[in-house]
Amino acid sequence: MEIPKYSLPEGQESRGFAVLICNETFSKKPRPGASQDLEYMKQIARQLGLDQLNSENDKDLNKDDMNKVIDDAVEKANTTCYMFLFMISTHGDERANPRKSGQIDHALMSIDEEFIFVSDLVEKFNDKNCPLLAGKPKLFFFQACRVIDHFQYMEHHSEMHIDGMSGQLKLSDKKHIYWTSNHNDHEKFSEKNANIDRVESSKTKGTLNAKEFEIIWLNGTTHCFTAETGSEVNYWVVGLTELILPGKTYKKEGKYLKVSEEVNAGTLSICKQVLH
C-alpha cells in the first residue's frame, strides 16, 4: 500500500509557522536545564523552514500569556500556511477537563501553576477553527509529565495559611510534616504518618472550600490549611493519602473509603486524584 505524501512547496521564503514554548522557572518545582529544549526546538523549526510566531515570547509563560500565544497562532495559521508546528516543554498532569464532561485529560502547566488542556489546545487548530490548515501537516509535541510526583511536590515549601498565619508546609523523609510560620520556628507536626487519622477536603466535606483541606490527627486535633491554589490542595491530599495507605488501591464510595475488598468507615475521606 502506497503511503500518501504531502509535498511542501520549494523556493518559498517560509513553509509555515511554529509555536515554541519552554517553561523552566517554577516557584516550587523549577526545571533547570529546560532552556536547552528551547534551543533544540528552534533548530528543528529552522530545519523545517518554519517561522517562529512567538520568538519574543517563548519562555516562562503564565496561563494568560500561553493562551494569547496560542490564539495569535490560530489567527496567523489561518492564512497562507503550508505546515504548522507546536512544541512545548513544561510540567504536566492528568486531571478532569470540565469542558469534556470531567474526562481525564493531559494538562500543561504554566509558570503560575495553572493548566491548559491538550485536547482544548489541539481543537483550536482543527478544520473548523482553522479551515485553511485543513489537509495540511499539523504537528504537536508535548514534553510534559502526565502525573505529578506528589511526594516531590510536598518536599518543597508550599505557601499555606493556618489559624490566620501565613507560612509553609513541608514533608520531609516521607514521614515528618513541618509547619514554618513568620512568627515561630518550625514546628514538627507529625513524627510518623501514622499520627494522621484522616484527611478531608472540599471534595468530601461541604464546609471546606476548594483551597482548603484538614488534617485530623489521632489525638483528635484538627488543623485546617488554606493554600494559594486548589491544585496545591490536591497534591497534598493525594500525597497524604498515599502515606496513610501505602501501596494500596483505594477509591471513595459514598461516605466510605474502599481499600482492596474491605470497606473502612472514616479511615480517610478522599479519593485518588485520577478520580477527582
Domains of the chain: 16-143 (3.40.50.1460), 150-275 (2.30.29.30)
Q: Is the pLDDT of residue 265 over 50?
A: no
Q: Is the pLDDT of residue 193 over 50?
A: yes
Residue whose C-alpha is closest to residue 22's, from 8, 14, 33, 13: 33
pTM score > 0.85 for this model? Answer: no
Q: What is the pLDDT of residue 90?
A: 96
Q: DSSP label at 7?
A: P
> In this predicted model, what pLDDT tens digit does every residue of 245-263 receive, in sequence order?
665 544 444 333 344 444 3
Helix, strand or coil, per DSSP, at residue 79: coil
pLDDT band at 184 (very low <50, low <70, confident <90, very high): low
State the average pLDDT over residues 88-109: 85
Q: Is the pLDDT of residue 61 over 90?
A: yes
State the average pLDDT over residues 125-143: 93
Give φ, ψ of 40 to 5 degrees: -65, -40
State the average pLDDT over residues 128-148: 89
Residue whose C-alpha is closest to residue 148's, from 230, 231, 269: 231
Residue whose C-alpha is closest to residue 218's, from 252, 267, 154, 151: 267
Q: What is the mean pLDDT of the chain?
A: 79
Q: Is the pLDDT of residue 269 over 90?
A: no
The answer to whether 224 and 212 have CB atoms below 8 angstroms apart is: yes
Distance CA 256, CA 262 (A): 10
State the average pLDDT over residues 191-200: 68
State the average pLDDT over residues 37-55: 95
Q: Is the pLDDT of residue 64 over 90?
A: yes
Laid out side by side, the sheet with 115-117 consists of: 92-97, 103-109, 115-117
Going through 59-121 in order, the beta strands assigned E by DSSP cover 84-89, 92-97, 103-109, 115-117
Q: How many CB atoms lie within 10 A of CB 79?
A: 10
